[in-house]
Amino acid sequence: MRADHWWEAYTDGPFAISTPQMAVSWQTARWIEDFCYRERPKSVTDLGSGLTSVVLRDYAKHTGAHVVSVDDNLEWLDKTRAFCEKNQLVTGNMMLLNDWLAALDTLPPSDFTVYDLGAELVVRFAHIDTAIRQLSEGGAILFDDYSTLTEEIDAAVIANGLDLTVQPDTRDEWMRICALATRP
């Protein structure tokens, strides 16, 4: 599994740019990789750059998928871009949140979105509906750290007519867990 390799390089070692507690867990990175190779999304949106960007861009390198990585923090986006460059992964379509919001009409609907936007919950909560509206027919959105905004995510999912299932294979040692919402 490449996701395990990326997680180790990203969180430990001479070029690490994050800590295990801050990066998406290796369980979630592996889940994302498995999902992508099983479902084969052609258009992927990564809301919250970091390790997810690396895993998704590695998937794109092998499949030709279109990946957009978005962050509300320029410093974090630049760190992610530099890590991708150092590891020969495509760095196009990496943008700040406001640029993504302005470009929504020009971007393809997302077949798969990873939602881990913003270190502050207010930012994370503010863009849930936008991310859901950007999904393609049959698209899916994975909410990382689901337990931090359970009520808000549940309300948005119900209001938008999506199905939601908690993904137990993503639970990590810090008790973080993801939930997958799918558009029927």
Mean pLDDT lowest among 18-22, 78-82, 130-134, 155-159: 18-22
CATH class of segment(s) 2-6+27-137+156-182: alpha beta
**Which DSSP state fits 145?**
T
Closest C-alpha to 115, from 138, 93, 134: 134
Residue 19: per-residue pLDDT? 67
What is the pTM for the complete model shown?
0.92
C-alpha triplet 28, 119, 48: angle, nearest 5°: 50
What type of residue sits at position 62?
H
Mean pLDDT lowest among 7-11, 58-62, 138-142: 7-11
- Would the pLDDT of 155 be above 70? yes
H or E element that contains 108: none
Q: What percent of the chain has pLDDT over 70?
A: 89
Residue 7: per-residue pLDDT? 62
